[in-house]
Structure 1
Amino acid sequence: MSGLLSAMEGFCVIGIVIATGYVAARMRIGGPSAQMVLNRFSFFVSSPCLMFAILSKQPLGDIFHPSLLVAFLSAAGVGVVFLLLNSVFFHMKAPDATIGALNSLYLNSNNIGLPVATYILGNPALVAPILVMQQALFTPIGLTVLDVTTKGKVSVKEIAKQPLHQPLLIGSLGGIAISAISARVGYFVVPDFLYDPIDMIGDSAVPMILMAFGMSLRGTKPLQEKGDRPAIFTVAVLKNIVMPIIAFLISYFLMGFRGAELYGCVVLAALPTGQNVYNYAARYNVGLTFARDGILMSTMTSPVFIALIAFLLS
């Protein structure tokens, strides 16, 4: 029970940082461009540093744990379900549908996943496979689709160059490479005078993203776009209910996980949508309201379902 309470405290921390961004926007601190600046700096500088700092010190066995398959299949499953539902019911255009799919499958593995993995599961390294999967696979695919659909043309050359445009992927792959080299030589190969500033800059990523998200709430009321409400509620159901169920079925019947491994896969699948999705929506200026409301809804409901999973499986 104490671990569950500690995780709920983690959600409280996130809410306070988001509220700080909202208050800063209300007081016009930073001017009208503050939200854009925070989003861009986090996207291009802070978040890549964060991914490098985390993954470079993770053992490769933790990064490529078998639970990676569970995370991939459950996330891909709900993403496909949303796209199918969109084609039948919502009829969103491709960029907005892409944001909806990311809203359904993208896990908040940093600022909520780390405390949940630490305080409920007792092992923060459990989020490492999710970090790799999202940054090395889902993020490049999603941003490639956004890149192509917002420009109105399909270019093989542009798609081939897309990984070079993804700072998060570059930071993640750099961290994995350093982890592999360090394991081979037997010591961490990056000297402290280089690693420490990267780590320090990376520490600013999560608060920047959260405060930019809070700033976006100023002057707006959630769920005011009536046409988006069915899709937003669908995203929350897929993220917080369907995805953990899929993770349980895959973990139990396909992977044969039991005990702590099964529990960990299901809890992590119930994490809310990551604020990164709003960051991506802002980067391409598509689906901003949809992304914001979907994140807010899943973040509000996620603690309830994580508590239920803890009650049933812990």
Structure 2
Amino acid sequence: MQGVATGFAIILVVIAAGFIAAKTGVVSGENRLVLNRVAFYVASPALLFSIVSHSDLAIMVSPVILVSAITAITMAVLFVIGSRLFSRADVGTTTLGAAASGYSNVNNIGLPVGMYVIGEISYVPPLIIMQVVFFAPVILAVLEATRGSNRGAWVALSRALTNPIIIGTGAGVIVSLAGWTVPEVIMAPVDMIGGAAIPLVLLSFGASFHGQKMLERGTGLRIVALATLLKTLVAPLLAWVLAGPVLGLDAHSVFAATVISALPTAQNMYNYAATYGKSELIVRNIVFITTFASLPVIFAIAFMLQA
């Protein structure tokens, strides 16, 4: 438990540093986006290549990943049912709400949480692949269909294949499967660059809170509340039930599966909403609130399962 507390302290201090940097004008506007872009296009791919190339790829088909997939899909289905019963939202809004209920912020928050709370980030690459390669095409296909196009799945697949996170992960998979040893003259700078990923992500994350407004009138409060409830509370509860009582996994796997399912909604969802011009405020609020709410929930999970 002391290690988990230390991990949270590290995460929160760096997030606070990012917020202070934004508050004092050191990081703002486009400057904050630079942190995100460097992390996404340079540092995170390097980090994931380093991890995967040295990893046992059996983790790719582990029960923890299975539990995470089942949980995400279940949350999406529950949202669709709840939306039809309580909000009568249109197809685009329902799709985005369902995606926001199950699609986790594995790239950003998942990396530091995996490193400092779970104690390993080997679960992150398969989760990224699962979401980008399998979930995203379905989401984009439906959104494309709402504006009379059938190219959504192809667009999503092409984006997945050119995604730097996927490229870094895929390269690591090839090296691991082939049993190759990357020369130190190459691996050392890759490790150095990868080491910047988590600090950059957390600093940018903290900076993003400055000047944000959470809830405003006309932002679909019922939809926001439903998605937030599912993502923040129901998802980790279901993951715990599946991993523990149902599958009987070991304590660490139960802990990992539960924490992973408690991750907040991915910021990709806001990008999709903005791109397709559908329910931007609703999705922004879901991302914003689940991000705040996930930290105490994950801490509570760590306290109960790692005590």
TM-score normalised by L of structure 2: 0.77
* Aligned counterpart, 2:222: 230
Q: Percent identity?
A: 32
Counterpart in 2 of 1:63?
60
Q: In structure 1, how many angstroms separate the alpha carbons of the residues matched to 2:279 and 2:98? A: 11
Task: Pick which of 190-199 and 298-307 moved more.
Answer: 190-199
Work out whether residues 57 and 179 of structure 1, in 8 Å CA contact, stay in contact via their aligned partners in 2.
yes
- 2:137–2:154 Cα contact (<8 Å) kept: no
Preserved CA contact (<8 Å) 2:49 2:169: yes
1:84 corresponding residue in structure 2: 81
Q: How does 1:1-314 map to 2 (within 5 A)?
A: 1-13=1-13, 15-16=15-16, 18-19=18-19, 22-23=22-23, 27=25, 33-34=30-31, 47-146=44-143, 148-149=144-145, 152-155=148-151, 158=155, 161=158, 163-182=160-179, 187-188=180-181, 190-199=182-191, 202=194, 220-281=212-273, 286-314=278-306
- Quickly say closer, same or farther: Cα 1:177–1:110, change in 2 above 3 A: same
Q: Does the 8 Å contact 2:243/2:249 carry over to 1?
A: yes
Q: Distance in 1 between matches of 2:211 and 2:198?
A: 23
Structure 2 spans left out of the alignment, 5+ residues: none
Report the more deviating stretch, 262-271 or 211-220: 211-220
Deviates more, 1:122-131 or 1:205-214: 205-214
Distance in 1, matches of 2:18 and 2:148, equals: 34
Cα RMSD after superposing both structures? 3.7
Query: Partner letter of residue 300 of structure 2?
Result: L
Deviation of residue 245 (structure 1)? Answer: 1.6
Structure 1 gap ranges (5+)? none
Could you say what secondary structure the match of 2:106 adopts?
Answer: coil
2-structure distance, mates of 1:288, 1:17: 28
In structure 2, the CA distance between the partners of 1:210 and 1:283, relative to structure 1 (3 Å rule), is farther
- Alignment check: 8 A CA contact 1:63 1:132 kept: no
